[in-house]
Amino acid sequence: MTKVNLITQGCSSNLRESELMMGLLNNSGYSIADDEKESDLNVVNICTVKGDTTALREIRRLKKQFPEKKMIVAGCITESIAPKIKNIDENISLVNTHNFGRISAVVENANNGTVLELLDKKYEPKVNLPSVRKNPVIGIVPILNGCNYFCTFCSTKLVKGKLVSYPMDAIREDVKSHLKSGCKEIWITSNDTGAYMVEQGGKQKLPELLQNILSVPTDFKIRIGMMNPGNTMTMLDELIEIYKNPKMFKFLHIPVQSGNNEVLRLMNRKYTFEDYIKIVEAFRREIPEITISTDIIAGFPSETEEQFEDSLQIIEETRPDVLNLSRYAAREGTIAAKMKQLQSNTLKERSRIMTNLYRKISFENNKKWIDWEGKILIDEKGKNYSWIGRNYCYKPVVVKGNFRLGEEINIKINEAAMFDLRGNVID
């Protein structure tokens, strides 16, 4: 029996596709290896959203470390990276995100010495399929494929293609299946959750979908994935009311990308920084303690010092709890890659300045939680005999003790770190 190991890069959508591939392989009679050293064949589910470098580095590492093992590269395979992978080893099979459902056939052919390249685009719902979850208490549920934005810096549209939302009933059934098998958290994920059903008449139906899921009569928590400001504005009031439901983690991932409207225009982001501020302020008025997560790019082509200062200003003003900072890197095939690029030392310096600002803000935000008492849900095993749980605002809390995944415990926070909180169990 062939032992297959899956290595995953990137976002929760990629993680879910790896879980689905493991489920399909398991159903086809293959054994899922826990470690690349134990496997007969390795599948690398790559992410190219931030460029090709990380993906290619991992492929080269595996090829050097296990030259005798067959390899399949899956996931976000762009036109530009495919020939680079083949230059590493022409015997590597390729199966993109649209064809992951054929992974068993790709493995079978690889075992027989036949190299396949499945890179065409198909649009099939990625719900209600067999899976092997990485985390037994977290159910990842994709709700759509693609994106209705076409940002000049991003390769997502090139990889994922057009926006296709999955049927509401199918999503609800997928959620129920996760809950029935013991999940305590449901992660609603996609390239932009706010775009749900936009392609079917222009009206977002995320609030309706969430109400449908929340009506499932089971005790669980929902974490909503990233939603762009342009899609969020038109349903702002509805979303805020839904977030008040006790089943909802008070966690909002809303990417701003730049604090300057001219840069946003060059990015083709279809909203203003004022829209981002309005959304954050509206949520905080109704849910003051909500965790705000945002994304920002330092050093977009043509960004001036003044425009970079605007980005620093918006971080200072809105004080996000989580900042996903990207130092700009050109993606082949994108419009921004053809623009005049900033020098690498400028990119590094701007990234350094913004990172230092964020660390300061994050630590100050976390200190406000000291002495908080309440429940956390254990959803991750930490280091050195520790566990990580999430409170109702999805704040990570590190605790030590004899716990298990999915357990809910009462704690008191007694220490704040830069990126997490530390607590002790209380009766």
Query: Which residue ranges make up each domain of the chain?
Result: 3-118, 138-367, 373-425
pLDDT of 1 reads 78
Nearest CA-CA partner of 382 in 339, 422, 340: 422
Could you identify the residue written with the tokens 């109702």? 392
CA 409 – CA 243 distance, rounded (Å) = 23
CATH topology for the 373-425 domain: OB fold (Dihydrolipoamide Acetyltransferase, E2P) (2.40.50)
Which DSSP letter does residue 269 get?
A: -
Q: What is the CATH number of domain 3-118?
A: 3.40.50.12160
Cα dihedral: 141, 143, 146, 149 (round 10): -120
Please provide residue 199's backbone torsions phi and psi, each rounded to the nearest 5 degrees: -70, -10
CATH H-level superfamily of 138-367: tm_1862 like domain (3.80.30.20)
What local confidence, expressed as pLDDT, does residue 398 receive? 97
Ranges of H-type helices in 215-295: 229-232, 236-243, 261-267, 273-286
- Alpha-carbon dihedral angle through residues 21, 25, 27, 31, given to the nearest 10 degrees: -130
Structure tokens at 54: 């990380």
Sequence-distant (6+) residues with CB within 8 A of 34 are 5
**Contact between residue 331 and residue 290 where contact means Cβ atoms under 8 Å apart:** no
Q: 410 — phi, psi (to 5°)?
A: -90, 130
- List, for the chain, all residue ranges whose pLDDT scores fall below the cut of 50: none
Query: In 319-398, which residue ranges form alpha helices assigned H by DSSP?
Result: 344-367
Indicate if 373-425 has the same CATH topology as 3-118: no
In the chain, % of residues over pLDDT 70 = 100
Task: Give residue 161's pLDDT.
Answer: 81
Q: CA-to-CA distance for 48 and 314, rounded, in angstroms?
A: 28
Degrees to nearest 5, angle at CA 297 with 225 and 279: 50
Proportion of the chain above pLDDT 90, given as a percent = 84
Backbone angles phi, psi at 308, to 5 degrees: -65, -40
> What pLDDT is attached to residue 367?
98
Contact call for residues 253 and 227 (beta carbons, < 8 A): yes
- Non-local (6+) Cβ contacts of 286 within 8 A are 240, 243, 244
